[in-house]
Amino acid sequence: MMTLHNFWHWAEQTPARTAVIGPDGRQLTFAELDARVNQLSHGLRALGYRRGDAVAVVIPNGIEWLEIFLATLQSGLYMVALNHHLVGAELAYIIDNCDARGLIGHRRYGEALAAAVESLGFDPAQRFSIGGLPGFRDYESLLAGQPITPPAERSCGALMLYTSGTTGKPKGVRRKLPEESPEEVAFKSSFLCLLFNGSVGSGSHLVQGPLYHSGPSGFGMAALQAGQSLVIMDKWTAEAVLALIDRHRITATHLVPTHFERLLDLPEAVRARHDLSCLTHVVHAAAPCPVGSKQRMIDWWGPVIHELYGATEGGGTSCSSQEWLQRPGTVGKAWPVSQVKILDESGCELPAGTPGLIYMSTAIAQFEYHKDSEKTQRSRRGELFTTGDIGYLDEEGYLFLCDRQSDMVISGGVNIYPAEIEGALLQHPKVRDVAVFGVPDPQWGEAIKAVIELSDGAEPGERLTDELKQFLEGRLARYKWPKSFDYVSTLPRTETGKLMKRTLREPYWAGLERKV
């Protein structure tokens, strides 16, 4: 079989080279990481897990995340990476929905994990923790005494991530497990790195975002498969990013527009303190980027910045600095292995310059929304899918985003679904009706606002706002909490009962480029 570059190739050919540097400074070579991955693979198999089983993971960014990813990738398992900001009830929903056989958590999220396993009655023999948790077995016990050689009969697994659905409940993006070898699939995943001019067999990639998101995990794992060393951040600060780039001579990274804003806020003296000339390709995605901010970043870092538009489901488009400078605001052209079309609601293709629903083909295996065939079919037109964004193509095929069809809020690159927040607030006895939507925020792009119609006798004010926030404790992760509350006598609804959010949003977005 032809030689394919992938993690196992580099572990054999360059075993002493650094594969990863963790947030705590701990380093593993490709050979050392490979040995631990093999031990974990044997440990998972000893638990009785078989091809197609799922392992839920609730841990922070770190070396263990890579170990689990690579072990499940060569063991035919689904690694279900969960947002570690979720509270117990939210974790329990996903753990149950994905039919997880095993659970690996971190003591940092002990309270939420304890609540989740208690509500599910999750088998104590199948739950493991990093750092120690009551009722959990030690993660290292999975590796202890296991062979460092590859397991027999290896088969390819997959990463399974959850994205919000139309009901506000997360939906698992699940793909059929590949029939190819782990090496072949890993080689293909490295194309995401190469698509943005990444290097093979050298260089280093800084993981800035949470690995439970498709962007940081997709680009981080693609860089590893291409033979780059990973440097992983856990706690993000703008100055720490500059220091790590300088110290480790980082050549590549992935970030979101909110990171741009934080970096640009640094004093000039701090920025000048670090040498960033090592950077060769920087990819940003996840949310619309203000034209002025991107121009300032290119002026600072040089024409090394690439933009990606896509989704957890697949896609999408890419755009170099040079292309963007010629067409400010574009998110680029379709990848060579993908296609992008603009369709109207009846599925007819629209001409250049005409906004409509953005449909893309997935660059990887076709997906389904786990246990939601209706949503799966609703998102598709033949081999194309949509996530509900609105945009148009110019005459040369460059995509420009206009809008979001849904009411999804994107704050700091994170998708937040208002219906879930509205449902939680409506449980409070003083809330008669509620509308949640995004309003402009210079730091996060959008901030969450709740406009509330109170029940009779309820008094608006700061005391009630504090009461509502306290009510959300344990019901929703804090990043979903509204940043501001307004109180009105009546919320506008149509005769059929549809909430007229446009009327509420319009004053906040007047004169700005955003759906109102």
Question: What pLDDT shows up at residue 164?
Answer: 59
Closest C-alpha among 328, 326, 321 to residue 302: 321
Q: Give the distance, in angstroms, between the CA of residue 315 and the centroid of all CA atoms in the same chain.
A: 14
Cα–Cα distance, 306 to 228 (Å, whole number): 18
Beta-bridged to residue 56, according to DSSP, are 80, 103
Question: From the CA atom positions of the chain, what is the Rg in Å?
Answer: 23
Please state the pTM of the whole predicted model.
0.82
C-alpha distances in Å from residue 232, one per residue of 25, 140, 252, 336, 392? 9, 20, 12, 29, 36
Q: Where are the beta strands (DSSP E) in 186-325?
A: 204-207, 229-232, 252-255, 281-284, 305-311, 314-319
Cα–Cα distance, 260 to 254 (Å, whole number): 11
pLDDT digits 0-9 by tens, 226-281: 999 999 999 999 999 999 999 999 999 999 887 888 898 899 999 999 999 999 99
Contacts of 74 (CB under 8 A, 6+ apart): 8, 37, 41, 150, 151, 154, 155, 156, 157, 182
Q: Phi then psi for 314, rounded to 5 degrees?
A: 145, -155
Question: What pLDDT shows up at residue 276?
Answer: 98
Tokens of 472: 């959300």
Contact present, 224 and 19 (Cβ < 8 Å): yes
Instruction: Please name the amino acid found at residue 139.
Output: Y
Pairing of strands 389-393, 399-404: antiparallel
Contact present, 445 and 293 (Cβ < 8 Å): no
Secondary-structure percent of the chain, ordered helix, strand, coil, rounded to 5: 35, 25, 40
C-alpha distances in Å from residue 246, one per residue of 196, 239, 255, 279, 469? 21, 11, 17, 9, 41
Question: What pLDDT shows up at residue 364?
Answer: 64
The list of the chain residues with pLDDT below 50 reads 1-2, 165-167, 495-497, 515-516
Question: What pLDDT shows up at residue 197?
Answer: 77
Q: Give the distance, in angstroms, between the CA of residue 251 and the centroid of all CA atoms in the same chain.
A: 22
Cα–Cα distance, 124 to 142 (Å, whole number): 14
Contact present, 82 and 58 (Cβ < 8 Å): yes
* DSSP line for 64-130: HHHHHHHHHHTBT-EEEEPPTT--HHHHHHHHHHTTEEEEEEEGGGHHHHHHHHHHHT--GGGEEEE
Contact present, 153 and 405 (Cβ < 8 Å): no
Cβ neighbours around 507 below 10 Å, total:
9
Question: What pLDDT shows up at residue 365?
Answer: 60
CA atoms within 13 A on the CB side of 487: 15
- Angle, CA of 303, 273 and 445, to the nearest 5°: 55
Question: What pLDDT shows up at residue 167?
Answer: 47
No. of helices (H) and no. of strands (E), the chain: 18, 28
- The structural domains of the chain, ordered by start, are 21-176 (3.40.50.980), 409-509 (3.30.300.30)
C-alpha distances in Å from residue 132, one per residue of 79, 109, 186? 21, 11, 32
pLDDT digits 0-9 by tens, 47-69: 999 999 999 999 999 999 999 99
Helix crossing, 238-248 with 257-264: angle to 10°? 90
Closest C-alpha among 313, 407, 329 to residue 361: 313
Cβ neighbours around 329 below 10 Å, total:
15
Cα–Cα distance, 109 to 133 (Å, whole number): 9
Instruction: Please name the amino acid found at residue 394.
Output: D
